[in-house]
Amino acid sequence: MNVDRCVALHNEILTIGWESRGRDTEDLGQSWFEFYGGDADEVRERLSPHLVAFLERAWEVGDDHSFFYYVAGLNPPTGFFPDPENHRFLTLYAANDIAEHPVGLKYDQQTNTAIIEMTVEDGSTTENGRQRWYPLETVLEAWRDMIRVGKIRAVGDDVEGEIHKFDPWIIVPYSEAMLQESITAFDELVGAIESRTPDAPGGPRATGLVDEDVLQESGIPAGFAYEFIQKVKRPRFKYIAPGLMVPTATSLPDQPFFVMEPEPPNGDDGEVLGIQPILLFRSHQNYSAPPNSPITGSGLPFSWPYSQVSQYLAGLYLGPVERQSNNPFEDESKLVLPFGIGSRGFARTSDGARFGENTEAPDVEPRDTFDTLYQPGYQPFGEIHGVRLVNILKSWTQMVERGDWSVDQEGIVGGMEEWKKADTEEHWEKFLVPVGW
């Protein structure tokens, strides 16, 4: 545990939120031990030296101010130890009421590592003996990065109308910085492919995967997907990844889930609240739901109401997303394969779990899944969500630059069978995306 780094990050995040409410930063500076006084001293002997050093310098302001969107703040001394007989584990930061039965950031005093448990049910996974925990500074850096890119924002007390606000924090479906990250990652991927394309055409590339009039008529609502398609550079080849095609004026409007009605627009402003899954890069092959699949969508790529569609094109999808949920990510992505992979036991999610395993069970039993490739698994820094598009695009660029994927005049060579390599001993690590938020 890097105590100095943890103190600096904690106090920086607290200051950002404090200033957003127009409060005087001169009121900051009281440490956790100073704030809680004798009650804090009573638990001092049960705390590790690293944690004591952190709490002696980490600022505390009380419960009328939320430290971050996901957590209310450092627990008081009485909230540290849910099990009075077990002093190894404590709940360092208390979770906000995003999920039922909230817990918070659990801290292991033996290893000086931490992990978020948004709800008490998460404990079966975080404490299964396989789940990786992280240094406290890594958690705080992830939170700080979410603020930096505008995913989590500190706003004034006068900002009203937000469905989910933990003063001063709100979460947005995406930010301009997040959009630009994905645009840059896509353009770099296209550049890497075109630089390896035999007799690639020169000159500037058009902007937008399709022309503006096609995009406007596609039915894709204003938001991340629309802006991404509108602003990236247009590839001059067909395949962006094995078996996955760049959208065209003909294919883009053909969206398998647009037959399902989204949530109605939000009052007079006309903002679409619910966005269906959007097929970005399609395959020629179909995904078919297994027989007798539950209509709720449990175990399927998309839950109700989209689980009513039992067969559709495989490919890379954005969404779905409910913009007024408590954890909306419009850049959330899912690669749906026409076949299952994972039962061989090599394919893993970012957190190290095997595809299809029950992370709450003591033993690992991998099984085939259709939609787990590139997914993060358990989210160690916040509420669960799918992999962000930017991380998949960066992974694909690495595959091109390392020579794992071959290139010809049509782009990436190889069909959908290439994805089966993710469940082989030789190649599985190449398909992992780093753990992040």
Q: How many CB atoms lie within 10 A of CB 184?
A: 14
1: amino acid identity, one letter: M
Which of 150, 111, 155 lies closest to 20, judged by CA?
A: 155
21, two tokens: 């409410």
17, two tokens: 């939120």
187, two tokens: 């353009």
Distance in angstroms (rounded) separating the CA atoms of residues 404 and 415: 14
CA dist 111 → 8, 50, 80, 258 (Å)? 21, 11, 17, 49
- At residue 428, φ and ψ (nearest 5 deg) are -60, -35
92: amino acid identity, one letter: L
- At residue 224, φ and ψ (nearest 5 deg) are -60, -50
Give the chain's residues under pLDDT 50.
none
CA dist 382 → 63, 116, 283 (Å)? 20, 6, 32
| Residue 56 near residue 82 (C-beta atoms within 8 A) | no
**Where do the domains of the chain lie?**
3-169, 173-431
137, two tokens: 């500074």
Q: Which one-letter DSSP state was computed for residue 348? A: B
pLDDT at 266: 59
| This prediction's pTM | 0.94
Distance in angstroms (rounded) separating the CA atoms of residues 437 and 116: 12
Q: In what order do the strands lie in the sheet with 113-117?
A: 71-74, 89-95, 104-108, 113-117, 134-135
Provide CB contacts within 8 A for 165, sequence distance 6+: 155, 159
360-374 core/surface letters (b: 16 or more CB in 10 A; e: else): eeeeeebebbbbbbb
287, two tokens: 């995904």
Which of 114, 154, 110 lies closest to 133, judged by CA?
A: 114
Determine if residue 69 is left, alpha or beta; phi over 0 gives left, psi from -120 to 50 gives alpha, anything else beta.
alpha
84: amino acid identity, one letter: P
- Residue 391, Cβ density class (10 Å: 0-12 exposed, 13-18 middle, ≥19 buried): buried
What DSSP assignment string belongs to 284-329?
A: EEEEEPPTT--TT-TTSSS-TTGGG--EEEEEEEE--EETTSSS--
165, two tokens: 């606000």
Which of 147, 137, 110 lies closest to 54, judged by CA?
A: 137
| Residue 83 near residue 33 (C-beta atoms within 8 A) | no
Task: Summarize pLDDT for 206-261 with one digit per residue, the tens.
Answer: 999 999 999 999 999 999 999 999 999 999 999 999 999 999 999 999 999 998 87
Number of Cα atoms under 13 Å in the Cβ half of residue 152: 26
pLDDT at 203: 76
Cα Rg of the chain (Å, integer): 23
Distance in angstroms (rounded) separating the CA atoms of residues 144 and 15: 12
